């Protein structure tokens, strides 16, 4: 995978997650209802989650500036989203709490899988080149 491709993937990833993080951080009820997020009278966890998502998206954007030297940050972003996906799937299918429609949750997970796959492909395809430079 070329550098320009991974830069585009990282920036789409950062923009999408920053948008979602901002929505959670602000937690403006009409917008929350519009995007089918669960509503609550105490949005503390949504605010904290939003701040964390925004922080991760900033890291992804900064990594896109120099992906060849930001491999660890790209890997950390992949791992963080791999930790989130099972939690979302658990609450959608097993937990039975009031969440958005299942199709929306699955769509969000699918979008993250596509982004993660592109980032992981870049890390995999460039690992040999990085090893050769160290020798």
Give the pLDDT confidence of 78-111 residue by residue, as tens digits.
998 888 888 877 877 787 766 666 777 778 788 8
Please give the mean pLDDT across all residues of the chain: 84
- Which of the residue ranges 1-5, 60-64, 99-103 has the most confident prediction, judged by mean pLDDT? 60-64
- Residues 116 and 81: beta-carbon distance below 8 Å: yes
Q: 102-122 burial string, b = 16+ CB within 10 Å, else e?
A: eeebeebbeebeebbebbeeb
Residue with tokens 């959670």, as numbered in its chain: 24
Return the domain boundaries, the chain.
3-134
Mean pLDDT throughout 74-79? 92
DSSP reduced 3-state for 101 = coil
- Taking only the tens place, the pLDDT of each residue in 17-29 is 999 899 889 987 8
């Amino acid at each position: 995978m070329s550098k320009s491709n991974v830069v585009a993937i990282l920036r789409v990833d950062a923009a999408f997650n920053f948008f979602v993080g901002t929505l959670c951080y602000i937690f403006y009820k009409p917008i929350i209802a519009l995007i089918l997020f669960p509503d609550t009278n105490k949005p503390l966890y949504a605010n904290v989650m939003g701040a964390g998502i925004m922080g991760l998206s900033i890291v992804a954007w900064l990594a896109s500036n120099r992906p060849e030297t930001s491999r660890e940050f790209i890997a950390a972003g992949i791992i963080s989203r791999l930790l989130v996906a099972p939690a979302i799937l658990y609450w959608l299918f097993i937990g039975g709490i009031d969440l958005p429609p299942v199709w929306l949750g699955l769509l969000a997970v699918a979008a993250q899988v596509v982004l993660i796959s592109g980032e992981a492909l870049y890390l995999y395809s460039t690992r040999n080149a990085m090893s050769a430079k160290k020798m």
